[in-house]
Amino acid sequence: MNISSKIVDDFVANDISFVTTVPCKQLGGVIEEVEARPEILHVPSNKEDEGMGLCAGAFMGGKRPAIIMQNTAIGVTINTLVTLTQFYRLPLPMLISFRGELKEPVACQAEMAVHTKPLLAQLGIPTYHFHRQDDVEEFDAILKYTFMCNKPVAILTDATFWGGY
């Protein structure tokens, strides 16, 4: 199974047509796939809070959005998640590379990894952790859930899920 294709297939099946991304080495394949799909407008952002602003606008303009980013971005975007996405009750699937987990080669990434789930829990953000490849089977249901409840929802995807580095 090509998990990048499966993820983007689920985006398209759920009518997600606006995707913003800030790259991570681990997300290269899925970003490439997003870029390749004619159903999706791909607007890369320079910073993740900017991306969440773009997603808020796109949703209000009638397009279902999603953001793809690294877990370090949780540190960057807390104010935006709280005062924009949550305050205005905007749905936002966040496909997040969970750096700093098992198989991580870069020590610094482990520093943010230990804060990722506590921060998401503190923010009351529904959080799913994809560790095994089969976990991707839930992605479609998670997207449906996100647009049902109008919340930001985090999908953490670790190195084991992506098959290493």
Partner 1 sequence: MIRSEILREIAPILRPHLVVCNIGLPSQEMHLIDDQPTNFYMLGTMGLASSIGLGVALAEDRTVISIDGDGSVLTNLGTLPTIANNVADNFILLIVDNGSYGSTGDQPTYAGKKTSLAEVARACGCENVVECRAEDTGQVLQKAIDAGRMTVIVSKCESGNVKVPVITMDPVAIRDRFMQSMAG
Binding residues for partner 1, rule: CB under 8 A, are 18, 41, 43-47, 49-63, 65, 79-80, 82-84, 87-90
C-alpha dist (Å) from residue 5 to 8, 64, 68? 5, 19, 14
| Closer to partner 1 by Cβ: residue 80 or 157 | 80
| Closer to partner 1 by Cβ: residue 3 or 24 | 24
CB of 64 to partner 1, least distance (A): 10
Rounded to 5 degrees, φ, ψ at 69 are -160, 175
Sheet (strand 152-157) strand order: 41-42, 16-21, 64-70, 92-97, 152-157, 127-130
Q: Strand, coil or helix: what is 121?
A: helix
CB of 58 to partner 1, least distance (A): 4
Q: Residue 57: in which H helix or E strand, if any?
A: helix 48-60
CB of 122 to partner 1, least distance (A): 18
| Closer to partner 1 by Cβ: residue 91 or 100 | 91
CB of 90 to partner 1, least distance (A): 7
- DSSP symbol at 86: I
| Closer to partner 1 by Cβ: residue 55 or 159 | 55
